[in-house]
Chains A and B, each alone.
Chain A
Amino acid sequence: MRLAAKLGHWTLHETHALDARVVELSDQLIFEMLVDDTFGFTCGMRLAFCEGVALPVGGGIWLIGMRRENETVTEAMIEVLRARREMVFS
């Protein structure tokens, strides 16, 4: 699966990573790449990632989570993503 590789073509403030839409998740400096209906996940899925440049560390994009399109964002999910982002950059 090469979905994540699309993020290599994304930079901060861009709305797309090649043919996949990117949105910021809850103003947390955590972003999601929307994979609407690719092969294997026709219900759609979202890859959560954070971007190094936006934080006081070196650059780079880190995948920190994944959820299905039909899975609701919960406070717990945000907490986990925030924790994973902290761990990546700690």
Chain B
Amino acid sequence: MNQDTYRDQLPNVRLQESEQFRRTLLTMLELIESEETSYADRKRAVSTIRDALSLHESKENFGIRLSQLELGVATRSRAVDYAASELESQEEKFAEKLKELMKARAITQTELASRVGCSQPAISQMLKRQCRPQRVTILNLAAALDVEPKTLWPNLNVTDILDTVAAVQEDGEMGAAESDAMRRTLDNPPVKAPARRLPSRKK
């Protein structure tokens, strides 16, 4: 849909029959037409108008749904698809390993949270796989539990594969460089660091 089509629709917009709403759309249109607006912001404005005109399937899809974003890219790339499934597998192992280490060291969720610098609910949600930890959190957890990060999350290299997701999403294309980067990562299997046996924490 081009800008003219948007303009044609605006006078007839009955969206909530709100003048404020219409003004909002016009503001977006001005952004699109302004030469000072960056390409990324122009895309955001176009997307906003598209949503406003109810061209999306439903209001449920109004915001950016990251799960769909990742899935959408995955369907276009077997490499990303592989990485996404790998991530699921790694997360499952992470939760199991974290639970195991906490039990072995007799550390409570509250104590571990204090050492890591996050909230106790965060630890709880990680154990239940309701909170995928950030990379920095994994590093902090590993330090707190005195293990190598890869003991908790064996394949941190998966990030190298998924780094291109954002770039692919940005332009909707997987360029040769991005494709090559993924392939290089896939060609280099992750180093499997053996878990170290550490003494249990004295109660």
Q: Which B residues touch A5, using CB under 8 A?
A: 130-131
Q: Which B residues touch A2, using CB under 8 A?
A: 67, 130-132
Known: A19-B133, A43-B166. A76 touches B38 (CB 8 A): yes
A sample of 20 inter-chain contacts (CB < 8 A) reads: A1-B70, A2-B131, A18-B119, A18-B125, A18-B131, A20-B134, A39-B159, A41-B165, A42-B135, A42-B159, A47-B64, A62-B62, A62-B63, A71-B40, A74-B41, A77-B41, A80-B31, A84-B51, A86-B21, A86-B24
* Structural contact, B166 and A9, CB atoms closer than 8 A: no
Closest residue of chain B to A45 (Cβ to Cβ) is B166
Closest residue of chain A to B87 (Cβ to Cβ) is A39
> Is A55 an interface position by the 8 A CB rule?
no
Q: Determine the interface band of chain A, counting residues with CB < 8 A from chain B.
A: 35 or more
B31-65 interface mask toward A, CB cutoff 8 Å, 1 = contact, 0 = none?
Answer: 10010111011001100100110000000001111
Q: Determine the interface band of chain B, counting residues with CB < 8 A from chain A.
A: 35 or more
B114-141 interface mask toward A, CB cutoff 8 Å, 1 = contact, 0 = none?
Answer: 0010110110010000111111110000
Pick the contact of B135: A37, A63, A68, A76 (CB < 8 A).
A37
Q: Which of A39, A68, A88 has the most chain B CB within a 10 Å cutoff?
A: A39
* Structural contact, A63 and B136, CB atoms closer than 8 A: no
Instruction: Determine how close the nearest CB of chain A comes to the CB of B40; give it in whole angstroms.
Output: 7
* Structural contact, A19 and B163, CB atoms closer than 8 A: no
Which residues of A approach B to under 8 Å, CB–CB? 1-6, 9, 16, 18-20, 35-43, 45, 47, 49, 62-66, 68, 71, 74, 76-77, 79-80, 83-84, 86-88, 90
Interface of B, secondary structure class, is helix
Closest residue of chain B to A68 (Cβ to Cβ) is B166
Q: Which A residues touch B122, using CB under 8 A?
A: 9, 16, 18-19
Q: Which B residues touch A66, using CB under 8 A?
A: 64, 66
Closest residue of chain B to A83 (Cβ to Cβ) is B24
* Structural contact, A1 and B134, CB atoms closer than 8 A: no
A1 to B147, CA, bound (A): 26
